[in-house]
Amino acid sequence: MVQAKTADRTGKDSMAFNRVFITALLALLSIVAPGVVRAATAKKSPAKKVVAKKRVAATRIASARRAPVLKKASLTKGRAPVSRFRQRNSPYAGFWTVPNFADATEGDVIDGEDLTIRRAAVEALNGLNGAVVVSDASNGRILSMVNQKLVLQNGFQPCSTIKILAGVAGVMEGEYNRDKVVKLGRRDYLDMTTAMARSNNPYFASIGRKLGYEKISYYAKLLGLGETAGLNIPGEQPGIWPGKEVPSGIGMMTSFGDGINLTPLQLSSILTTVANGGTMYYLQYPRTQAEIETFVPQVRRKIENIGTAIQEIRPGMEGSVNFGSGRRAGYEDHEPIFGKTGTCTHSDHKTHLGWFGSFNEVGDRKLVVTVLLTGGKLVSGPVASGVAGQVFRKLNEARYFASNPQIVSPNAIIARESFPAYMPEN
Protein backbone atom coordinates (compact mmCIF):
# COMPACT_ATOMS: atom_id res chain seq x y z
CA MET A 1 0.00 0.00 0.00
CA VAL A 2 2.86 2.31 0.85
CA GLN A 3 4.58 1.43 -2.41
CA ALA A 4 1.44 2.28 -4.44
CA LYS A 5 1.17 5.69 -2.81
CA THR A 6 4.83 6.36 -3.46
CA ALA A 7 4.44 5.50 -7.21
CA ASP A 8 1.34 7.67 -7.52
CA ARG A 9 3.14 10.63 -5.93
CA THR A 10 6.09 10.13 -8.30
CA GLY A 11 3.79 10.13 -11.40
CA LYS A 12 2.07 13.32 -10.27
CA ASP A 13 5.44 15.00 -9.74
CA SER A 14 6.51 13.98 -13.26
CA MET A 15 3.34 15.42 -14.81
CA ALA A 16 3.78 18.64 -12.90
CA PHE A 17 7.35 18.89 -14.11
CA ASN A 18 6.21 18.35 -17.74
CA ARG A 19 3.61 21.10 -17.42
CA VAL A 20 6.18 23.50 -16.04
CA PHE A 21 8.65 22.58 -18.81
CA ILE A 22 6.11 23.08 -21.61
CA THR A 23 4.92 26.39 -20.14
CA ALA A 24 8.51 27.63 -19.95
CA LEU A 25 9.18 26.49 -23.51
CA LEU A 26 6.11 28.32 -24.85
CA ALA A 27 7.10 31.43 -22.95
CA LEU A 28 10.54 31.30 -24.58
CA LEU A 29 9.04 30.78 -28.03
CA SER A 30 6.62 33.68 -27.50
CA ILE A 31 9.66 35.90 -27.19
CA VAL A 32 11.72 34.39 -30.01
CA ALA A 33 8.97 33.43 -32.52
CA PRO A 34 5.52 34.67 -31.49
CA GLY A 35 3.96 33.60 -34.81
CA VAL A 36 4.80 29.95 -34.15
CA VAL A 37 3.05 30.03 -30.78
CA ARG A 38 -0.07 31.60 -32.24
CA ALA A 39 -0.18 28.97 -34.99
CA ALA A 40 0.33 26.16 -32.47
CA THR A 41 -2.29 27.37 -29.97
CA ALA A 42 -4.95 28.79 -32.33
CA LYS A 43 -8.19 26.90 -32.82
CA LYS A 44 -8.82 25.96 -36.46
CA SER A 45 -12.26 27.51 -36.81
CA PRO A 46 -13.86 27.85 -40.32
CA ALA A 47 -13.88 31.64 -40.01
CA LYS A 48 -10.15 31.75 -39.29
CA LYS A 49 -9.45 29.44 -42.24
CA VAL A 50 -11.23 31.87 -44.58
CA VAL A 51 -9.24 34.79 -43.17
CA ALA A 52 -5.99 32.86 -43.65
CA LYS A 53 -6.83 32.05 -47.28
CA LYS A 54 -7.63 35.71 -48.02
CA ARG A 55 -4.34 36.75 -46.43
CA VAL A 56 -2.40 34.27 -48.64
CA ALA A 57 -4.22 35.43 -51.80
CA ALA A 58 -3.47 39.07 -51.00
CA THR A 59 0.19 38.21 -50.47
CA ARG A 60 0.39 36.46 -53.88
CA ILE A 61 -1.24 39.40 -55.70
CA ALA A 62 1.17 41.84 -54.06
CA SER A 63 4.12 39.64 -55.03
CA ALA A 64 2.94 39.45 -58.64
CA ARG A 65 2.66 43.24 -58.80
CA ARG A 66 6.20 43.59 -57.47
CA ALA A 67 7.56 41.05 -60.00
CA PRO A 68 9.78 42.47 -62.79
CA VAL A 69 8.19 42.96 -66.21
CA LEU A 70 10.02 41.06 -68.97
CA LYS A 71 10.76 43.12 -72.06
CA LYS A 72 9.70 41.79 -75.45
CA ALA A 73 12.35 40.60 -77.87
CA SER A 74 13.19 42.80 -80.83
CA LEU A 75 11.12 42.41 -83.99
CA THR A 76 14.29 41.84 -86.00
CA LYS A 77 15.31 38.73 -84.11
CA GLY A 78 11.88 37.44 -83.04
CA ARG A 79 10.27 34.45 -84.71
CA ALA A 80 6.66 33.43 -85.14
CA PRO A 81 5.14 31.55 -82.18
CA VAL A 82 4.81 27.79 -82.43
CA SER A 83 3.34 26.96 -79.02
CA ARG A 84 0.83 28.43 -76.56
CA PHE A 85 3.59 29.57 -74.23
CA ARG A 86 5.56 31.23 -77.03
CA GLN A 87 2.37 32.70 -78.48
CA ARG A 88 1.59 34.41 -75.15
CA ASN A 89 5.15 35.68 -74.75
CA SER A 90 6.07 36.33 -78.39
CA PRO A 91 6.63 39.85 -79.72
CA TYR A 92 4.21 38.86 -82.50
CA ALA A 93 1.29 37.97 -80.22
CA GLY A 94 -1.53 40.13 -81.55
CA PHE A 95 0.94 41.61 -84.04
CA TRP A 96 -0.37 40.40 -87.41
CA THR A 97 -2.93 42.75 -88.95
CA VAL A 98 -3.28 41.17 -92.41
CA PRO A 99 -6.30 38.81 -92.77
CA ASN A 100 -5.86 35.15 -93.66
CA PHE A 101 -8.62 35.26 -96.28
CA ALA A 102 -9.34 37.77 -99.05
CA ASP A 103 -10.44 37.98 -102.67
CA ALA A 104 -7.14 37.42 -104.46
CA THR A 105 -8.62 38.27 -107.84
CA GLU A 106 -9.87 41.76 -106.98
CA GLY A 107 -8.51 44.31 -109.46
CA ASP A 108 -6.73 41.74 -111.65
CA VAL A 109 -6.64 42.25 -115.41
CA ILE A 110 -6.70 38.84 -117.06
CA ASP A 111 -6.15 39.84 -120.69
CA GLY A 112 -3.66 37.51 -122.35
CA GLU A 113 -3.57 34.95 -119.54
CA ASP A 114 -3.89 31.21 -119.97
CA LEU A 115 -7.37 30.78 -118.52
CA THR A 116 -6.91 27.08 -117.76
CA ILE A 117 -3.92 27.90 -115.55
CA ARG A 118 -5.61 30.92 -113.99
CA ARG A 119 -8.67 28.88 -113.06
CA ALA A 120 -6.45 26.23 -111.45
CA ALA A 121 -4.53 28.87 -109.48
CA VAL A 122 -7.64 30.64 -108.19
CA GLU A 123 -9.26 27.36 -107.15
CA ALA A 124 -6.04 26.25 -105.43
CA LEU A 125 -5.92 29.44 -103.34
CA ASN A 126 -9.49 28.70 -102.22
CA GLY A 127 -9.98 32.13 -100.64
CA LEU A 128 -6.56 32.43 -98.99
CA ASN A 129 -5.01 35.89 -98.98
CA GLY A 130 -2.11 35.32 -101.33
CA ALA A 131 -0.73 35.33 -104.84
CA VAL A 132 0.20 32.74 -107.45
CA VAL A 133 2.53 33.28 -110.41
CA VAL A 134 2.81 30.56 -113.08
CA SER A 135 5.45 30.86 -115.79
CA ASP A 136 7.00 28.71 -118.50
CA ALA A 137 10.58 27.75 -117.64
CA SER A 138 11.48 27.23 -121.31
CA ASN A 139 10.90 30.83 -122.38
CA GLY A 140 10.06 33.06 -119.40
CA ARG A 141 6.46 33.76 -120.36
CA ILE A 142 4.12 34.50 -117.45
CA LEU A 143 1.02 32.40 -118.04
CA SER A 144 -0.97 33.70 -115.09
CA MET A 145 -0.55 36.20 -112.26
CA VAL A 146 -3.21 35.97 -109.58
CA ASN A 147 -3.40 38.91 -107.14
CA GLN A 148 -1.40 41.31 -109.25
CA LYS A 149 -1.40 44.01 -106.55
CA LEU A 150 0.48 41.72 -104.18
CA VAL A 151 2.87 40.42 -106.83
CA LEU A 152 3.88 43.91 -107.95
CA GLN A 153 4.65 45.24 -104.45
CA ASN A 154 8.25 45.91 -103.52
CA GLY A 155 8.77 42.47 -102.08
CA PHE A 156 8.69 40.62 -98.79
CA GLN A 157 11.24 38.83 -96.67
CA PRO A 158 12.04 35.62 -98.58
CA CYS A 159 12.22 33.50 -95.42
CA SER A 160 13.74 30.09 -96.15
CA THR A 161 13.42 30.32 -99.93
CA ILE A 162 16.73 32.24 -99.69
CA LYS A 163 18.36 28.85 -99.03
CA ILE A 164 18.29 28.25 -102.81
CA LEU A 165 20.68 31.18 -103.23
CA ALA A 166 22.85 29.98 -100.33
CA GLY A 167 23.03 26.46 -101.78
CA VAL A 168 24.04 27.72 -105.23
CA ALA A 169 26.70 30.01 -103.73
CA GLY A 170 28.13 27.27 -101.52
CA VAL A 171 28.48 24.82 -104.40
CA MET A 172 29.83 27.32 -106.92
CA GLU A 173 32.50 28.39 -104.42
CA GLY A 174 33.57 24.76 -104.08
CA GLU A 175 32.86 24.64 -100.35
CA TYR A 176 29.66 22.55 -100.38
CA ASN A 177 27.90 19.79 -102.29
CA ARG A 178 24.84 17.60 -101.80
CA ASP A 179 26.76 15.24 -99.51
CA LYS A 180 28.61 17.89 -97.49
CA VAL A 181 28.01 17.05 -93.83
CA VAL A 182 28.09 19.91 -91.33
CA LYS A 183 28.26 19.49 -87.56
CA LEU A 184 25.40 21.53 -86.12
CA GLY A 185 25.60 20.52 -82.48
CA ARG A 186 27.20 18.04 -80.12
CA ARG A 187 25.53 15.12 -81.89
CA ASP A 188 23.79 16.75 -84.85
CA TYR A 189 25.19 16.23 -88.33
CA LEU A 190 23.38 17.02 -91.58
CA ASP A 191 24.11 16.93 -95.32
CA MET A 192 22.90 19.57 -97.76
CA THR A 193 20.18 17.42 -99.33
CA THR A 194 18.49 16.75 -96.00
CA ALA A 195 19.09 20.32 -94.82
CA MET A 196 17.42 21.71 -97.95
CA ALA A 197 14.52 19.28 -97.73
CA ARG A 198 13.83 19.98 -94.08
CA SER A 199 14.73 23.69 -94.31
CA ASN A 200 17.41 23.50 -91.63
CA ASN A 201 18.47 26.99 -90.61
CA PRO A 202 21.86 26.33 -88.93
CA TYR A 203 23.16 24.52 -92.01
CA PHE A 204 22.51 27.43 -94.37
CA ALA A 205 23.62 29.96 -91.78
CA SER A 206 26.96 28.14 -91.84
CA ILE A 207 27.20 28.76 -95.60
CA GLY A 208 26.75 32.48 -95.07
CA ARG A 209 29.37 32.61 -92.32
CA LYS A 210 31.76 30.48 -94.39
CA LEU A 211 31.52 32.60 -97.55
CA GLY A 212 30.90 36.05 -96.08
CA TYR A 213 28.77 38.92 -97.26
CA GLU A 214 30.76 39.84 -100.39
CA LYS A 215 30.53 36.40 -102.00
CA ILE A 216 26.89 35.92 -101.04
CA SER A 217 26.14 39.36 -102.46
CA TYR A 218 27.85 38.41 -105.75
CA TYR A 219 25.59 35.40 -106.26
CA ALA A 220 22.51 37.28 -105.08
CA LYS A 221 23.04 39.84 -107.83
CA LEU A 222 23.88 37.08 -110.29
CA LEU A 223 20.45 35.57 -109.63
CA GLY A 224 18.70 38.92 -109.97
CA LEU A 225 18.04 40.10 -106.42
CA GLY A 226 17.66 43.85 -106.18
CA GLU A 227 16.52 44.30 -109.80
CA THR A 228 13.30 43.77 -111.68
CA ALA A 229 12.75 40.32 -113.15
CA GLY A 230 10.30 41.26 -115.89
CA LEU A 231 10.58 43.03 -119.21
CA ASN A 232 8.36 46.12 -119.33
CA ILE A 233 5.86 44.85 -116.77
CA PRO A 234 4.02 47.98 -115.55
CA GLY A 235 4.27 48.54 -111.82
CA GLU A 236 6.93 45.90 -111.11
CA GLN A 237 9.27 46.75 -108.23
CA PRO A 238 12.91 45.63 -107.84
CA GLY A 239 12.78 44.38 -104.26
CA ILE A 240 15.73 45.04 -101.96
CA TRP A 241 19.20 43.56 -101.63
CA PRO A 242 20.95 45.32 -98.71
CA GLY A 243 24.19 47.10 -99.54
CA LYS A 244 25.91 45.66 -96.49
CA GLU A 245 25.57 42.87 -93.96
CA VAL A 246 22.51 43.37 -91.78
CA PRO A 247 22.84 43.71 -87.97
CA SER A 248 21.51 40.19 -87.36
CA GLY A 249 24.43 38.77 -89.38
CA ILE A 250 25.11 37.09 -92.70
CA GLY A 251 23.98 33.75 -91.28
CA MET A 252 20.48 35.15 -90.75
CA MET A 253 20.52 36.51 -94.29
CA THR A 254 21.27 33.09 -95.82
CA SER A 255 18.88 31.15 -93.59
CA PHE A 256 15.92 33.52 -92.97
CA GLY A 257 16.45 36.25 -95.57
CA ASP A 258 16.84 39.01 -92.97
CA GLY A 259 17.05 42.47 -94.54
CA ILE A 260 16.05 41.22 -98.00
CA ASN A 261 12.89 42.00 -99.95
CA LEU A 262 12.04 39.44 -102.63
CA THR A 263 9.10 39.64 -105.04
CA PRO A 264 7.20 36.62 -106.37
CA LEU A 265 8.46 37.54 -109.85
CA GLN A 266 12.07 37.45 -108.68
CA LEU A 267 11.60 34.04 -107.08
CA SER A 268 9.90 32.86 -110.28
CA SER A 269 12.91 34.08 -112.26
CA ILE A 270 15.36 32.22 -110.01
CA LEU A 271 13.35 29.01 -110.27
CA THR A 272 13.06 29.40 -114.05
CA THR A 273 16.87 29.57 -114.21
CA VAL A 274 17.26 26.51 -111.98
CA ALA A 275 14.61 24.56 -113.92
CA ASN A 276 16.13 25.12 -117.37
CA GLY A 277 19.76 24.65 -116.35
CA GLY A 278 21.15 28.17 -116.16
CA THR A 279 19.49 30.49 -118.70
CA MET A 280 17.82 33.47 -117.08
CA TYR A 281 15.01 34.83 -119.25
CA TYR A 282 13.31 38.13 -118.83
CA LEU A 283 9.84 37.35 -117.56
CA GLN A 284 7.35 38.62 -120.13
CA TYR A 285 3.64 39.12 -119.63
CA PRO A 286 1.90 39.40 -123.05
CA ARG A 287 -1.54 40.94 -122.63
CA THR A 288 -3.04 40.82 -126.15
CA GLN A 289 -3.50 38.12 -128.75
CA ALA A 290 -1.10 39.94 -131.04
CA GLU A 291 1.60 39.98 -128.32
CA ILE A 292 1.07 36.28 -127.73
CA GLU A 293 1.37 35.43 -131.42
CA THR A 294 4.56 37.47 -131.82
CA PHE A 295 6.07 36.43 -128.48
CA VAL A 296 9.84 35.97 -128.61
CA PRO A 297 11.79 34.86 -125.51
CA GLN A 298 14.36 37.39 -124.34
CA VAL A 299 17.48 36.14 -122.60
CA ARG A 300 18.51 38.23 -119.64
CA ARG A 301 21.82 36.45 -119.10
CA LYS A 302 23.45 33.05 -119.15
CA ILE A 303 24.96 31.99 -115.86
CA GLU A 304 28.15 30.11 -116.63
CA ASN A 305 29.05 26.99 -114.66
CA ILE A 306 25.83 27.02 -112.65
CA GLY A 307 24.80 23.61 -114.03
CA THR A 308 26.82 21.72 -111.41
CA ALA A 309 25.32 23.78 -108.59
CA ILE A 310 21.81 23.11 -109.90
CA GLN A 311 22.44 19.37 -109.96
CA GLU A 312 23.66 19.52 -106.37
CA ILE A 313 20.65 21.39 -104.95
CA ARG A 314 17.93 19.62 -106.97
CA PRO A 315 17.89 16.48 -104.75
CA GLY A 316 17.17 18.66 -101.71
CA MET A 317 14.40 20.51 -103.55
CA GLU A 318 12.87 17.22 -104.61
CA GLY A 319 13.31 15.91 -101.06
CA SER A 320 11.36 18.89 -99.76
CA VAL A 321 8.31 17.56 -101.59
CA ASN A 322 8.98 13.88 -100.97
CA PHE A 323 9.77 13.92 -97.25
CA GLY A 324 10.48 17.48 -96.12
CA SER A 325 8.71 20.75 -95.41
CA GLY A 326 6.92 20.84 -98.80
CA ARG A 327 5.26 17.42 -98.58
CA ARG A 328 1.79 18.84 -99.25
CA ALA A 329 2.81 19.63 -102.83
CA GLY A 330 3.44 16.03 -103.91
CA TYR A 331 0.87 14.25 -105.99
CA GLU A 332 2.51 11.88 -108.54
CA ASP A 333 5.75 9.95 -108.03
CA HIS A 334 6.40 9.72 -111.78
CA GLU A 335 5.89 13.48 -112.27
CA PRO A 336 8.26 15.02 -109.71
CA ILE A 337 7.97 18.49 -108.23
CA PHE A 338 11.00 20.40 -107.00
CA GLY A 339 10.42 23.14 -104.45
CA LYS A 340 11.43 25.17 -101.42
CA THR A 341 9.24 26.42 -98.59
CA GLY A 342 9.61 29.60 -96.54
CA THR A 343 7.88 30.70 -93.32
CA CYS A 344 8.54 33.84 -91.28
CA THR A 345 7.07 37.18 -90.20
CA HIS A 346 7.64 40.37 -92.15
CA SER A 347 7.50 43.07 -89.47
CA ASP A 348 7.28 46.01 -91.88
CA HIS A 349 4.07 44.66 -93.40
CA LYS A 350 2.81 43.19 -90.09
CA THR A 351 2.06 39.88 -91.76
CA HIS A 352 3.10 36.28 -91.44
CA LEU A 353 4.43 34.84 -94.71
CA GLY A 354 4.16 31.48 -96.40
CA TRP A 355 6.31 30.99 -99.51
CA PHE A 356 6.67 28.06 -101.88
CA GLY A 357 8.69 28.26 -105.07
CA SER A 358 8.49 25.20 -107.31
CA PHE A 359 8.72 23.68 -110.76
CA ASN A 360 7.73 20.36 -112.24
CA GLU A 361 9.06 18.10 -114.97
CA VAL A 362 6.58 16.33 -117.20
CA GLY A 363 8.19 15.41 -120.50
CA ASP A 364 9.32 18.64 -122.15
CA ARG A 365 7.00 20.80 -120.06
CA LYS A 366 8.38 22.69 -117.09
CA LEU A 367 6.07 25.07 -115.30
CA VAL A 368 7.26 27.29 -112.46
CA VAL A 369 4.63 27.87 -109.75
CA THR A 370 5.39 30.48 -107.09
CA VAL A 371 3.02 30.92 -104.17
CA LEU A 372 3.09 33.70 -101.57
CA LEU A 373 0.55 33.68 -98.73
CA THR A 374 0.02 36.52 -96.26
CA GLY A 375 -1.98 36.62 -93.04
CA GLY A 376 -1.54 35.41 -89.48
CA LYS A 377 -0.98 32.14 -87.65
CA LEU A 378 -2.67 30.09 -90.39
CA VAL A 379 -0.01 31.05 -92.96
CA SER A 380 3.12 28.95 -93.52
CA GLY A 381 5.39 27.53 -96.20
CA PRO A 382 3.85 24.05 -95.92
CA VAL A 383 0.39 25.57 -96.50
CA ALA A 384 1.77 27.39 -99.56
CA SER A 385 3.22 24.12 -100.84
CA GLY A 386 -0.27 22.63 -100.66
CA VAL A 387 -1.58 25.45 -102.85
CA ALA A 388 1.14 24.82 -105.46
CA GLY A 389 0.43 21.10 -105.36
CA GLN A 390 -3.23 21.81 -106.06
CA VAL A 391 -2.26 23.90 -109.09
CA PHE A 392 -0.20 21.06 -110.54
CA ARG A 393 -2.90 18.53 -109.68
CA LYS A 394 -5.70 20.50 -111.32
CA LEU A 395 -3.63 21.07 -114.46
CA ASN A 396 -2.85 17.38 -114.60
CA GLU A 397 -6.55 16.54 -114.30
CA ALA A 398 -7.25 18.96 -117.16
CA ARG A 399 -4.58 17.11 -119.20
CA TYR A 400 -2.68 20.36 -119.60
CA PHE A 401 0.69 18.61 -119.67
CA ALA A 402 -0.49 16.21 -122.37
CA SER A 403 -0.70 19.06 -124.92
CA ASN A 404 2.17 19.95 -127.19
CA PRO A 405 4.70 22.36 -125.70
CA GLN A 406 5.30 25.71 -127.31
CA ILE A 407 8.22 25.82 -129.74
CA VAL A 408 10.93 28.32 -128.85
CA SER A 409 11.56 30.87 -131.60
CA PRO A 410 14.83 30.41 -133.56
CA ASN A 411 15.50 34.12 -132.97
CA ALA A 412 15.57 33.45 -129.24
CA ILE A 413 18.07 30.62 -129.70
CA ILE A 414 20.39 32.91 -131.66
CA ALA A 415 20.06 35.61 -129.03
CA ARG A 416 20.72 33.11 -126.26
CA GLU A 417 23.90 31.78 -127.84
CA SER A 418 25.29 35.25 -128.46
CA PHE A 419 24.47 36.63 -125.01
CA PRO A 420 27.58 37.28 -122.89
CA ALA A 421 28.08 35.80 -119.45
CA TYR A 422 26.91 38.12 -116.67
CA MET A 423 29.45 39.46 -114.20
CA PRO A 424 27.73 41.46 -111.44
CA GLU A 425 29.52 44.27 -109.66
CA ASN A 426 30.05 43.85 -105.92
Q: Which whole number is the average pLDDT over 314-341?
A: 92
Considering the chain, what is the average pLDDT of its residues?
Answer: 83
**Which residues have a Cβ under 8 Å from the Cβ of 398 and sit 6 or more positions away?**
116, 120
Q: CA nearest 352: which of 93, 153, 83?
A: 93
Q: What are phi and psi of 367, to 5 degrees?
A: -105, 140
Q: What is the pLDDT of residues 99-109, one digit of tens each?
A: 999 999 999 99
Whether 57 and 140 share a structural domain: no
Residue 410 confidence (pLDDT) above 50: no
| Closest of 273, 183, 182 to residue 219, by C-alpha | 273
Residue 74 lies in a domain: no
Do 50 and 145 share a domain, yes or no? no
In a domain, 172, yes or no: yes
Identify the bridge partners of residue 279 per DSSP, sorted by sequence position.
302
pLDDT at 95: 79
- Can you tell me the distance from the alpha carbon of 168 to that of 152, in angstroms, rounded to the nearest whole number? 26
Whether pLDDT at 355 is above 80: yes
Say if 266 falls within a structural domain: yes
CA 278, 282, 285, 288: dihedral to nearest 10 degrees?
-110
Residue 134, domain CATH = 3.40.710.10
Q: Specify if 324 maps to a domain.
A: yes
| 302 within a domain of the structure (yes/no) | yes
Total count of domains within the chain: 2
Are 158 and 254 in the same domain?
yes
The pLDDT assigned to 12 comes to 55
pLDDT at 3 over 60: no
Domain match, 270 and 125 both: yes
Question: Do 305 and 195 belong to one domain?
Answer: yes
Is the pLDDT confidence value at 84 over 50? no
Q: Are residues 59 and 196 in the same domain?
A: no
pLDDT digits (tens, 9 = 90+) for 328-354: 998 676 789 999 999 999 877 789 999
Is the residue at 366 inside a domain? yes
* Same-domain check for residues 296 and 168: yes
For residue 88, pLDDT over 70 is answered with no
> What pTM was estimated for this model as a whole?
0.76
Cα 182 to Cα 294: distance, rounded to the nearest angstrom: 50
- Does the structure show a pLDDT above 70 at 48? no
pLDDT of residue 96: 86
Residue 22, domain extent: 18-66
Same domain, 139 and 52: no
Range of lowest pLDDT (89-93, 145-149, 413-417): 413-417
**Residues 230-288: tens digit of each pLDDT:** 999 999 999 999 999 999 999 999 999 999 999 999 999 999 999 999 999 999 999 99
Residues 31 and 151 in one domain: no
Q: Does residue 298 sit in the same domain as residue 392? A: yes
